[in-house]
């Protein structure tokens, strides 16, 4: 029972962390700008396709990424450090860059680029999925990806209501908070990766 509770807590932590990294709340203004000229049916198709494509990308890396990188002798500590550095740099870039509003389009291409890749399934989320797959295993990682995909779909589906409730300024504040949390997660990953590398080096010397 203790192990089950620990596993569930680890899975819940992974879901929360991945949701923070994917940051659907922070992507609401982008989604609204890209789909401003679309009908409700078109917006729904764009949303569904973007979440499906992003999920497929994350699943691909969850299933095959560890084997590919493991072939090159990459250890868990290496994953942690690389994921942390990417997450820190990506989040800091998003924090300091001005918001880019792109023109709306009547096609579904925006569902793939830029919504699915790189905004929902970008370097940070891909790296974190690789780390989860290496640390937790493929099955729990797929569960986490599925949960975050559903939460992302629900969040963006309710973007109109959230925008009216929080306003653009409120969304910006939430986005910055999520990005700061992402930086903190990245720092934690680097620290844990260094600790894992130090422990491995100490044991090999002993």
Measured distance CA(197)–CA(203) in Å, rounded: 10
Measured distance CA(114)–CA(128) in Å, rounded: 20
Domain ranges of the chain: 2-200
* pLDDT at res. 3: 77
When mean pLDDT is compared across 2-6, 90-94, 172-176, the lowest value belongs to 2-6
Token readout for 180 is 């700061």
Average pLDDT (158-176) is: 87
Token readout for 104 is 């709306």
Confidence tier at 201 by pLDDT (50, 70, 90): low
pTM of this structure? 0.80
Average pLDDT (5-12) is: 89
* pLDDT at res. 104: 46
Please provide the size of the chain in residues.
206
Per the model's pLDDT, the better-predicted residue between 102 and 49 turns out to be: 49
Asked if residue 107 has pLDDT above 60, the reply is: no
Among the listed residues 94, 104, 100, the one whose alpha carbon sits nearest the alpha carbon of residue 32: 104
Among the listed residues 8, 182, 160, the one whose alpha carbon sits nearest the alpha carbon of residue 87: 182
Measured distance CA(28)–CA(7) in Å, rounded: 32
* pLDDT at res. 90: 78
Asked if residue 49 has pLDDT above 80, the reply is: yes
Average pLDDT (114-142) is: 88
What is the rounded average pLDDT for all residues in the chain? Answer: 84
Confidence tier at 46 by pLDDT (50, 70, 90): very high
* pLDDT at res. 103: 46
């Amino acid at each position: 029972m203790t192990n089950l509770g620990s596993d569930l807590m680890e899975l819940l932590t992974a879901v929360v962390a991945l949701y923070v990294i994917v940051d659907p709340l922070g992507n609401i203004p982008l989604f609204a700008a890209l789909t401003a000229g679309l009908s409700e049916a078109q917006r729904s198709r764009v949303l569904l396709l973007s979440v499906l494509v992003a999920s497929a990308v994350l699943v691909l890396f969850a299933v095959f990424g560890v084997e590919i990188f493991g072939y090159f002798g990459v250890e868990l500590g290496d994953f942690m450090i690389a994921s942390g550095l990417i997450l820190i740099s990506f989040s800091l870039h998003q924090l300091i860059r001005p918001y880019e509003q792109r023109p709306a389009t009547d096609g579904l291409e925006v569902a793939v680029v830029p919504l699915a890749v790189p905004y929902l399934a970008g370097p940070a989320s891909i790296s974190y999925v690789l780390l989860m797959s290496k640390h937790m295993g493929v099955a729990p990682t797929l569960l986490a990806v599925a949960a975050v995909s559903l939460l992302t779909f629900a969040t963006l589906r309710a973007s109109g209501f959230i925008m009216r409730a929080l306003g653009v300024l409120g969304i910006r504040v939430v986005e910055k908070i999520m990005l700061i949390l992402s930086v903190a997660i990245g720092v934690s990953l680097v620290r844990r990766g260094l600790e894992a590398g130090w422990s491995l080096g100490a044991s090999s010397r002993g």
